[in-house]
Structure 1
Amino acid sequence: MTYATRLDVADASLAVTSYSADVTAWSRRYFGPWWNAAEASPESVCTSPVVAANVDFHQYERLHLEVIGSPHTSTTYARTQLLVARNETEGAVTAVSKWPMLAYQSEPAAGRLTLYGWDTEPVATAAARLAREMMRGLLLRCGWSVLHASAVSLGGRVILTFGSKGAGKTTTALTLAARHGWELLANDRVFVRVNAAGGVDVLPCPAAAAVSLGLLDALGWYDLARERLEAGESLHPTQDQRVTDALMDGRREPLWDGERELKAQVFPDQFPTWFNVGLSTGGQAAVLLFPRIEAGATPAEEEDGRTLREGDFMGGQTEDRYPDVFGLLGVDGGGTADARAAVAEHLAELPHHSVVLGRDMAANADFLLKFAAG
C-alpha cells in the first residue's frame, strides 16, 4: 500500500509518497500548517512533483553497487559523504551515502526523486529535507527569493529580524511570540516576493529551530521541555545527545563543542504543542529589525544606519549544507538577481530599527512591543 502527504504553498505543490505510513506522517508533522501538509490519496498526487521514499535495503544495495561501479564524484551533503554518479545524457543523478545508509535517484526533468534506505527514521528525515529542497526550487522558479531572517506575524503584518549568527534573530522572534502572542513564521529564513500592490509577501521555510538552553530557560520553556522529555517525547533527531542529557539532568548552562554552541532542536509542531506558540502561514512585511544581544544591557534603539544587505539574502553558496546535488532548484539557491533586487527595493521603504537587547526577556518584550504596534 502506498501512502502520500501533499504540500501546498502559494504557487507550488508536491507530494511525499511511501510504502510506510510513518514516512509520510513525518512530513505532515514537519511541515504542518506552515506548508499545508495533509494526507492525500496516492492517485491524487501522481501528476505532482514527487519525493518517493521507501525502506528497502535491497534497492539501497543495488544503487550502491551501481554508483561505485560507475564514474562518480564525492561531495558533502547534510554533513555526510555522498558519492554521486551522473547520466549527462538523461540529466539523472544517482547517489549513495554509507552513513546513514541512503540511496537517491533524481530525475529533475520529470520532477521526481526516489529515495531508499535501511531504517525508517533516516528515510523519513531525508524525505522531508528533500521535499523542502524541491519546494524551494519550485518557489524560486515562481519568482520568490530567500532571506536569512527570523519572522513573526500578527494580523497579516510580519516583522522580519536580521543579523549574523548569534545576533539575536531567534531571541527577538521568540520573545514576541512567547510574550505578546505573535505567531512564529520562521526561525532562520523566509521566502519573499513583491506582490501586485507593491508590498512584500512572506512565506515560511520550515526547519527545526535551534534554541539555546539559556533561551529556553529565559522564555520559561526549559521545564516544559524537560517534562515532555521525561514523559517519553523527543526533540528533533539532529539534536546532539549532550543537549538531551543536559535537559534530562536539569542543567541549564550553555553547552559548547569548541566554538559551536549546542542547542535544542525543536520540531515546528512542538512550538504550539509544547510552548503554546502559534505558527503563521504567511503575511506581508511591515517592519525590519536588526538586533544585537548584550548581557546587562537595557533594551534600546541604536542609530547605526543598518539596512538590508546582499548578504541578508540566501544564495546557492550560502546553502552549503545542502548543495544542489540533485538538480532540484533550476536557479540560484536564493532566487534570481532581479527578484532579489525588487524585494530589496520595496523592503527599503519599510521602517528599519537597530536595537540592543539584554537578557531580561520581560524587558525585551515590553521594548519590542512598540515596534510591533505600528
Structure 2
Amino acid sequence: MSDRTATRIATADGQAVTVTSRTPAVTDWSARYFGSWWNAAPAEPPITGPVVSADLDPGEYEELAQAVTGRESSEADYAGSLMLHTRGEVGTVTAVQPGDRLAYRWEPSVRRLRIAGHDETAVATAAARLARELVRGMLLVEGWQILHASAVTREDGATLLTLGDKGAGKTTTAVLLARAGWRLLANDRAFVRVENGRVRVLPWPSAAAFGFGLLDALGLFERIADRLRAGEPMHPTQDQRVTDALLAGRREPLWKAGGKEMKPQFFPDQLDTWLGMTPATEGAAAGLLFPRITPGAESRLVDEPRRLGEADFFTADTEDRYPDVFGLLPMTGDAPGLADRLNALPHRALVLGHDTVANTALLEKTAARLLG
C-alpha cells in the first residue's frame, strides 16, 4: 500500500468500501464524488472490507480483455457502453468495455474488484461507479430499498419525497425547494428503510442532470456558461454537444435520437458551488408530493388519489443502467410495511406550469402544510 492512495467511503448507516490506486486522481475523484452525500476520507492500512483497486495499466487491461474476448462471453449495456463478461467456476467475474478501454475482475471470495484501463478519467469514473454498487449491495442486504424519487430535507431532518413517472417533475420539485432553502437529499433515487417506526432516507450519490429550460428559468444558465468558459470542467458524461451549446449561449433543448433530452451534467459538489443547493446526508420521510408538469397550466393543488406502487421502486429486474453483471446485489423481496408506511404519510398531488416563481410559491406553501 505504500505506493497507493486510498479513500474510504461510508454511508451514514455504516456500510463502507475503500477505493485504492497508484494514481491519486482516482481516489481524489471518489472523495469528490461521494463527499457531498456520504462520508469520504483518506484511509490508512490495514484496509478492511471490500476494496475497489483501480489503476492506469494498459498491460493488465490487455490481459483481462483477452481473458474475456478469447472465450464465449455474455453482453450487457452497462452505463451506456457495451460490456462483455464471463463468470468463472468460483464466481469470479471478468469483464471488458472495449469502447472505454476498461477491464474488470471481481473476486467475491476476497471482496476485491480490480479495474485496469488506459484513461485516467475513465478509470476514476468506473472506480466510483463500482464502489457505489458495492455499497448498494450491502445496503440492500440490510433491508434498504431504492425508491425512484427526489428528496429534500429541512434542518430538523424532516424529508419530503417527490414521486411520479419520468417527466412528472421530480427533479424540478427538488431543485425549486433546494433553491428556496431546503437541503437536497436526492435528485432521482433514494435509499429508504423503516427504522423505529419512521422511514429513514439516505442519498444515492450520482452526477446530477438538469435541462436547459430549468437552468434558464432559474437564472443559472449564464452562471454555468461563464464557469465553463473560464475552464472549470463539468462531469465527463456530459455530451459534447451540450458543452458546445453552453459555451455558445444556446438555450434550446437538445435531443438524442429516440427523443431523450441531452442535459448539462454536474459533479455532486457543483450542486452547492455552482447551483447554490446544499446536499444532505440523510433524513426521515415526513411527506410525499406527486407533481405533474403541464405546459401552460396554472400552478395548483389537485385532488387525485395517488399511492406508491411497484413502479416507484428499483429492483435488480428493473435496473436499466447498471445491470448486476458482477453479482454484487442480493436477491431481495419487498420490505414488509415500507410502502404502507410511506403511503400513510401526508401527501398531495399538484400541477406545475412553467412559471418558476409560482411553482416555488406553491411548493413552499404545500410543504409547510404537509410537515406543519
Residue 75 of structure 1 deviates from its aligned partner by: 2.3
Aligned to 2:348: 353
Residue 324 of structure 1 deviates from its aligned partner by: 0.6
Aligned to 1:372: 367
Aligned partner letter, 1:369: E
Unaligned runs of 5+ in 2: none
Residue 209 of structure 1 deviates from its aligned partner by: 1.1
Aligned to 2:61: 60
Aligned to 2:181: 181
Which consecutive segments of 4 or more residues in structure 1 shift more than 4 A? none
Question: Within the alignment, does 1:37 sit opposite 2:40 as a pair?
Answer: yes
In structure 2, what is the Cα distance between the partners aligned to 1:303 and 1:67? Answer: 55
Aligned to 2:148: 148
| Equivalent residues of 1:108, 1:326 under 8 A apart | no
Aligned to 1:87: 88
In structure 2, what is the Cα distance between the partners aligned to 1:148 and 1:251? Answer: 31
Aligned to 1:199: 198
In structure 2, what is the Cα distance between the partners aligned to 1:79 and 1:184? Answer: 26
Aligned to 1:320: 320
Aligned partner letter, 2:133: E
Aligned to 1:5: 7
Unaligned runs of 5+ in 1: none
Residue 161 of structure 1 deviates from its aligned partner by: 0.5
| Equivalent residues of 2:316, 2:329 under 8 A apart | no
| Equivalent residues of 2:86, 2:94 under 8 A apart | yes
Aligned partner letter, 2:239: D
Aligned to 1:139: 139
Aligned partner letter, 1:326: F
**Identity level (%):** 54
Aligned to 1:161: 162
Residue 337 of structure 1 deviates from its aligned partner by: 2.4
Deviation by residue 1:68-100 (Cα, 9 ceiling, x = unmatched) = 223322222222222212112x11011112110
SS at 1:368's partner residue? helix
Aligned to 2:226: 227
TM-score, scaled relative to structure 1? 0.95
| Equivalent residues of 1:11, 1:139 under 8 A apart | no
In structure 1, what is the Cα distance between the partners aligned to 2:334 and 2:14? Answer: 19
1:244-283 map, 5 Å:
244-258=243-257, 259-283=259-283
Deviation by residue 1:271-325 (Cα, 9 ceiling, x = unmatched) = 1111221000011001111101112222111111011111100111221221111
| Equivalent residues of 1:287, 1:371 under 8 A apart | no
1:286-301 map, 5 Å:
286-301=286-301
Per mean C-alpha deviation after superposition, the further-off stretch among 347-356 and 68-77 is: 68-77
In structure 1, what is the Cα distance between the partners aligned to 2:296 and 2:334? Answer: 42
In structure 1, what is the Cα distance between the partners aligned to 2:42 and 2:224? Answer: 28
Residue 59 of structure 1 deviates from its aligned partner by: 0.4
In structure 2, what is the Cα distance between the partners aligned to 1:372 and 1:83? Answer: 47
For the structure 1 residues 342 and 110, does the alpha-carbon distance in structure 2 shift closer, same or farther, using more than 3 Å as the test? farther
1:122-133 map, 5 Å:
122-133=122-133
Alpha-carbon RMSD: 1.2
In structure 1, what is the Cα distance between the partners aligned to 2:318 and 2:183? Answer: 27
Residue 333 (structure 2) aligned to one of 337, 347, 367: 337
In structure 2, what is the Cα distance between the partners aligned to 1:313 and 1:92? Answer: 29
In structure 2, what is the Cα distance between the partners aligned to 1:288 and 1:101? Answer: 43
Aligned partner letter, 1:59: E
Aligned partner letter, 1:354: A
SS at 2:285's partner residue? strand
Deviation by residue 1:153-174 (Cα, 9 ceiling, x = unmatched) = 1120111001111110000000
Aligned to 1:99: 99
In structure 1, what is the Cα distance between the partners aligned to 2:337 and 2:181? Answer: 31
Residue 65 of structure 1 deviates from its aligned partner by: 1.6
In structure 2, what is the Cα distance between the partners aligned to 1:25 and 1:233? Answer: 17
Deviation by residue 1:25-58 (Cα, 9 ceiling, x = unmatched) = 01111111311111222x14x2121111000001
Residue 113 of structure 1 deviates from its aligned partner by: 0.5
